[in-house]
Structures are given as C-alpha cells and as structure tokens.
Structure 1
Amino acid sequence: MKKINCILIIVAVLGIVFAFSLFSKEGIAINVNSKNKDLVSKSLNGEIENTDDVTKIILGQGWHSGELTIYHSLGKTETLYITEGMFNLGELEKYIRENGYNLDNIGFISIGVSSIILIYLLIYMYVNKNKS
C-alpha cells in the first residue's frame, strides 16, 4: 500500500474521532471577537472573574442544556448554568443561538469527508486487487 493511502487512513480515522468529540459536546459555539466582545463582557461580568481573555463560548444542548462552557485564552475552562432570572445570560444565549455554529453540523461534515476518503480507499484496493 502506498504511503499516501496510509496517510489517508490516518486522516479518516482522526476525522471520525474528531466528529465524535464534537457530538459529545452537544452545543452551539461562538468565537469571541471584536463584534461580540462587548456583549460577552457585559453578560458575563459578575459571573466569572476575568471576561477579557474569553476566546470561545459553547451553549449546551440536549443533555447539556442550559450550560455555558467558557474557554479562556490560557486553556482555562469554566462552566455556568443558565437559570430563570439571569437576564444578562439570557441575552447572551439568544445571541449564541442566532449567530453561533452548531458543533453537530461540523461533526457530520467531518464524518462525511472521512467516509468519502474511506470509500475511495476501498475502491482503490478493489481495483488494484482485480488488476493482479
């Protein structure tokens, strides 16, 4: 088997593992940037210590419903739970739902690409087997 095929197998397997890790997070994510930094700072002020170094927020769905996972620039992770009466976090939740990206969709795309790679490899092996 050629080196490229081995590399493709590794890429496909890693893609599937990556997809399942995204499925386990069950959420909608946003990257914190200059467009939404003010809203994030205003919403999380008083809820967490430092709002300046927040890089990503994931709003949980399914089993993680009502959960905000907050990622900081130095690898620190915090989890907040949205309950009734938390109006600032409610605004942030609405913003994330409207402007965020669904992690499940990225997982499906990753599985699709990995499947295409694996199908290509199966066809390649079948064609080369018949040539011999």
Structure 2
Amino acid sequence: MVTTQELIALLQEAESDIEIYENEPMSRHTTFAIGGPADVFIQPKTVGALQNALRCLRQTETPYLMVGNGSNMLVSDAGVRGAVVCTSEMDHIAVGTRGRITAGAGALLSAIARRAQREGLTGAEFAGGIPRQLGGRGIYECRRV
C-alpha cells in the first residue's frame, strides 16, 4: 500500500473531477454525526471520475469503503483506514421516454419519487420516505398516470 500523500497525488493526477480530503471526519458524512477520520475521503462527481478513482485504489491495493449519504451508518471513533469513496455528489436524475428514470448513485430516493410525481409517473411512490440514496441500481421503470 502507498502512503496517504502518495495516494492523494495519484488520485489528483488521474482525475480532476473529484474532491479529495485527508483525515476527513466521518461525523460530517453520517446522519448520526458520529465517526472518526477517514485516511482519505473521495467524492467523485461523475461516473468517469468514480471509475478512475476505483482503478487507482485497486492498483495501489488501497482498501476502500463505498458510502452514500451516511444514512443509518455507524462509524467507529477510530475512523476508517484506507479510503472512503462517497457517491453523494453523483445525484443527477433524468426522465427518459416511456417513464424511465435514470439516476446517479448519489440521488436520494425521496428526490427520485418527487421527480416521478412532477413528471406524472407512478411506480416510485414507495421511495418517498426512505432516507437513503439510490446506490448502484441506477434505473427505475415507471409508467404514466
């Protein structure tokens, strides 16, 4: 494994569309506002940036944890060794033809449900009160009301 400074330099060299923080308190990124520092905290803004960051982490054999908006997540006061990759900035929501909603991993389920409602779509109502992000799924099939 590389040092924290070497990892940060490699990430910055590999990708510009990313925010990188050293010793970032996880308490800033959990709904319970608890948790010690992550050695490296990474927030990619695009799918490409996420792919580049993950490639860099794998190449350097850096352990990493993928997180969303920190809902119902408990982090030790000792923090997280290695890297935390947070998808909360990847929150785009698009409505395509035939009621297909495509969203980034960081899109809140409640925001997806509200967007479906505004577009006159049904099928995402269940997500209205769930305090979490979409994660890896990315596509919901809804239908016109």
Shorter-chain-normalised TM-score: which range?
under 0.3
Whose strand fraction is larger, Structure 1's or Structure 2's?
2
Give the structure-1-normalised TM-score.
0.23
Max Rg structure: 1
More helix by share: 1
